[in-house]
Amino acid sequence: MEDRIGMSDPLYRRVIVKLSGEALMGARGFGIDQAMVEGLASDLAAAAKLGVELGVVVGGGNIFRGVEVSKRGVERPVGDTMGMLATVMNCLALEAAVERAGCEARTLSALAMPSVCETYNRKRAVKNLGKGRVVLLAAGTGNPYFTTDTTAVLRAAELDAQAVLKATNVDGVYTADPKKDPKAKRYDKLSHQEALEKDLRVMDGTAFALARENRTPIIVFSIAEKGAIEQVLRGKGRATVVG
Ligand code: UDP
């Protein structure tokens, strides 16, 4: 096909994309910015059209984070449940937008809410992925005290995904925060061990320990540019591969 000349085929068969709640927030400071959701959804739909199976773990930090809620006196497990429910709202917003972008999508929630969406289980997720649907993995692990980064690594292991694509607002892992330190250097590649020894904090400790144990590659990239997910799947664009 002419429009594919010069394009490389995707490197992966199945991946888990991790989007933080902040990616859906845009410049608003809280909640969901519809234009951001539409942009992410069209990127996801374009990536799915390459034939790569996509599971998407969405955070909830744009609405509630358990730790922050519990600082106001709510018990931590309750705050975390609020955080998990926030991820469900984000997933529902994305699900609708991915479908509008021309690709089938399904939200599967780790917390059962049968009148809203299907409940997550591994077989159901695999079945939906196999049908080419973008599978939105909602409500984190379903347990308090965990994060959606941990969820992404856990789902990658149980769904036999080849990598976690962690979308951030910088184009990879740096020696220091590039927004604060102009001398910070970017890595193209590094091992889990190096990231740990250099204390580079690619993900929270629990998530990273699980990735290291399962040797799950984590690809850190910036979601700011349109088509970023597709670029990473083709092995193009700027990103750091950990693992
Ligand atoms: N959360 C949880 N268990 C999980 C995943 C998430 O309790 O398995 C809660 C937790 O309170 C967390 C919130 O959901 O703060 C939102 O998730 P996260 O902070 O990972 O979102 P992100 O920072 O990626 O937007």
pLDDT at 6 over 70: no
pLDDT in tens, 94-148: 999 999 999 999 999 999 999 999 999 999 999 999 999 999 999 999 999 999 9
Considering the entire predicted model, what is its pTM? 0.96
Rounded to an integer, what distance in angstroms lies between the CA atom of residue 88 and that of residue 36?
17
User: For position 193, what pLDDT does the model report?
Assistant: 95
Ligand 1 center to 6 CA (angstroms): 40
Q: Calculate how far, in angstroms, residue 3's C-alpha sits from the geometric centre of ligand 1.
A: 40
Using CB distances shorter than 6 Å, the residues near ligand 1 are 20-22, 59-61, 65-66, 79-80, 83-84, 86-87, 140-141, 143-144, 146-149, 151
* 25 backbone φψ class: left, alpha, beta (φ>0; ψ -120 to 50): alpha
2 confidence band (pLDDT: 50, 70, 90): very low
- What are residue 58's DSSP bridge partners? 19
Q: Rounded to the nearest whole angstrom, what is the distance from the C-alpha of residue 1 to the centroid of ligand 1?
A: 42
Q: Is 223 exposed, middle or buried (0-12, 13-18, 19+ CB in 10 A)?
A: buried
Q: Of 26-30, 62-66, 117-121, 164-168, where does mean pLDDT reach its minimum?
A: 26-30
* Residue to mutate, 85, 87, 91, ligand 1, most ligand atoms under 8 Å from C-beta: 87
In sequence order, what are the beta bridge partners of 98?
none
Question: pLDDT value at position 3?
Answer: 47
pLDDT, residue 195, reads 95
What rounded mean pLDDT belongs to the chain? 95
Mean pLDDT for the stretch of residues 162-183: 94
